């Protein structure tokens, strides 16, 4: 499913359940949080490693719109004032039996495959203003902002991101999604400039290349 961070991330097309998911009990989570990263025993088994300046922000497990068992984990590189410099959003999803025909058809979107350690992901760069106009109840955007607020963190006003998606099973019923988010100013541009030039302009060419390189330097996935 597609998470949202305003223009950055596309909203899921599923119908909303209309209820805010309850807080997760720590025992409900199936992944192991490490000093700077995450360990998974399945789907896929392996480790996601981040630089030591990244700290664990929080996690939540819930049924996303009643259609997918979902676990979200956030890690941030932030200053003492709570201003986020970089953030990594890791999300595991698995469609539930109530949607027997649903699949994550990642190849159909036409995005390139890029290796991050041992696993290749379909990747898509995006940019936008941070604060969304509306947040759908029960969606991953709501959970994302809730975890950020609970940790006392503040995102940059304008961000650039790289969404990475991998389906670890032959049936495409599961998805591992990782999103690298950074300050758009660090890429040397702004939303205003990008909107003026368009996606074919030099500013977006530079920014999209920059965020891909930063994500590759930051995220390493080791498969078991």
Burial of 137: CB neighbours in 10 Å, binned 0-12, 13-18, 19+: middle
Between 97 and 8, residue with greater pLDDT: 97
Question: Tokens 């409900």 map to which residue?
Answer: 28
Residues 6+ apart with CB under 8 A from 121: 113, 114, 115, 164, 165, 166, 178
pLDDT of 18 above 90: no
Q: What is the pLDDT of residue 26?
A: 54
Inform me whether the pLDDT recorded for 159 exceeds 90: yes
| Tokens representing residue 77 in the block | 């590189």
Question: How many other CB atoms sit within 10 Å of the CB of residue 60?
Answer: 23
Q: What is the pTM of this model?
A: 0.89
Q: pLDDT band at 15, cuts 50/70/90? A: very low
* pLDDT value at residue 135: 81
Q: How confident is the model at residue 6 (pLDDT cuts 50, 70, 90)?
A: very low
Give the burial class of 174: count Cβ atoms within 10 A of its Cβ; 0-12 exposed, 13-18 middle, 19 or more buried: buried
Return mean pLDDT, the chain: 89
How much of the chain, in percent, has pLDDT values that exceed 70?
Answer: 88
- Would you place residue 88 in the very low, low, confident or very high pLDDT band (cuts 50, 70, 90)? very high
Q: Which pair of structure tokens corresponds to residue 111?
A: 């995005």
pLDDT above 90 as % of the chain: 82
User: φ and ψ at 192, to 5 degrees?
Assistant: -60, -45
pLDDT tens figures, 37-80:
999 999 999 999 999 999 999 999 999 999 999 999 999 999 99
User: Torsions phi, psi of 62, nearest 5?
Assistant: -160, 170
- The answer to whether 224 touches 46, Cβ cutoff 8 Å, is yes
Nearest-angstrom CA–CA distance, 110 and 115: 16
**Cα separation of 106 and 78, whole Å?**
31
pLDDT tens-digit map of 69-84 = 999 999 999 999 999 9
pLDDT, residue 168, reads 96
- Structure confidence by residue, pLDDT tens digits, 205-219: 999 999 999 999 999
Pairing outcome for strands 68-78 and 158-166: unpaired
pLDDT of 27 strictly over 80: no
Lowest-pLDDT choice from 4-13, 127-136, 146-155: 4-13
């Amino acid at each position: 499913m597609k998470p949202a961070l305003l223009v950055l991330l596309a909203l899921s097309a599923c119908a909303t359940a209309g209820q805010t998911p309850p807080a997760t009990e720590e025992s409900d989570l199936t992944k192991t949080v490490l000093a700077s990263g995450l360990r998974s025993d399945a789907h896929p088994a392996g480790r996601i490693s981040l630089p030591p300046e990244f700290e664990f922000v929080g996690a939540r497990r819930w049924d996303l719109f009643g259609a997918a068992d979902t676990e979200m984990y956030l890690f941030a590189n932030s200053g003492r004032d709570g201003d986020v410099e970089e953030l990594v959003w890791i999300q595991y999803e698995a469609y539930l039996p109530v949607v027997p025909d649903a699949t994550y058809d990642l190849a159909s979107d036409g995005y390139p495959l890029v290796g991050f350690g041992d696993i290749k992901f379909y990747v898509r760069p995006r940019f936008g203003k941070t604060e969304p106009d509306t947040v759908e109840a029960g969606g991953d955007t709501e959970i994302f902002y809730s975890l950020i607020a609970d940790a006392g963190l503040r995102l940059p006003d304008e961000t650039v991101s790289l969404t990475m998606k991998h389906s670890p099973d032959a049936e495409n019923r599961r998805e591992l999604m990782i999103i690298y988010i950074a300050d758009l100013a660090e890429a040397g541009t702004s939303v205003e400039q990008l909107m003026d030039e368009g996606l074919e302009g030099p500013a977006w060419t530079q920014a999209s290349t920059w965020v891909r390189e930063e994500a590759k330097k930051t995220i390493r996935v080791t498969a078991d």
